[in-house]
A = this chain, B = another copy of it.
């Protein structure tokens, strides 16, 4: 229970970085529309956060704006990219070519955002050795060599829950620096390896929860009136 990591986390709230990505998205859109400046007010308004929040979030990383004028979009975009580590391309491996893996493999969204898929891995001997989308599928045992050869930095983990921890450990041993996990398990990883997890079923369950709940609320409200004017 000792709070040893006091110094490593408190500067930047975890959610601030995630909002930064959203700001970036929107700024790119504004730029595409030919806009050249914006303000915390405008940016926040578009994304449903307060102007203060926008300024605070940016403030964690530097001073990017001009009092009285706002933010210059052509400057702010690369500034945020730099902060997010997106001024460069990241080499990514996909591990697990099942249903989900196959989809992610063909998903164009990652490439569009500065990620390059450079290696494929799978456990099944029926798949290992095959070539998919121009890439050879390697056995996970080959991770160390392939990671080295291809300069893989991040791994997308789309293997069954039962295999996830073992595969993750192997990837860590192979020198991977971040894991994007789709398996519904809590991986235990060394501190120096970054970790983002998405549980697709869990999120859908959350939606079911919200729907059930919203019902109860509405049932409650309907004692007054039906379908009030939403904001």
Contact = CB atoms under 8 A, between A and B. Distances in A.
Interface of A: 4-5, 8, 12, 17-18, 20-22, 25, 46-48, 83-86, 90, 92, 99-100, 102-104, 106-110, 112-115, 153-154, 156, 177-180, 184, 186, 190-192, 194-196, 198-214, 217-218, 227, 230-231
B214 A86 contact: no
Contacts of A177: 211, 214
B204 A113 contact: yes
Query: This chain: how many copies in the complex?
Result: 2
Nearest to A115: B204
B195 A85 contact: no
B110 A99 contact: no
A198 B198 contact: yes
B200 A107 contact: yes
12 contacts: A47-B186, A86-B208, A102-B106, A107-B200, A109-B184, A113-B205, A154-B204, A178-B210, A180-B204, A192-B214, A192-B230, A196-B206
A226 B206 CA distance: 41
Contacts of A180: 203-204, 207
A110 B166 CA distance: 24
Contacts of A12: 213
A89 to B, nearest CB: 10
A115 B106 CA distance: 25
Nearest to A216: B85
Contacts of A110: 200-201, 204
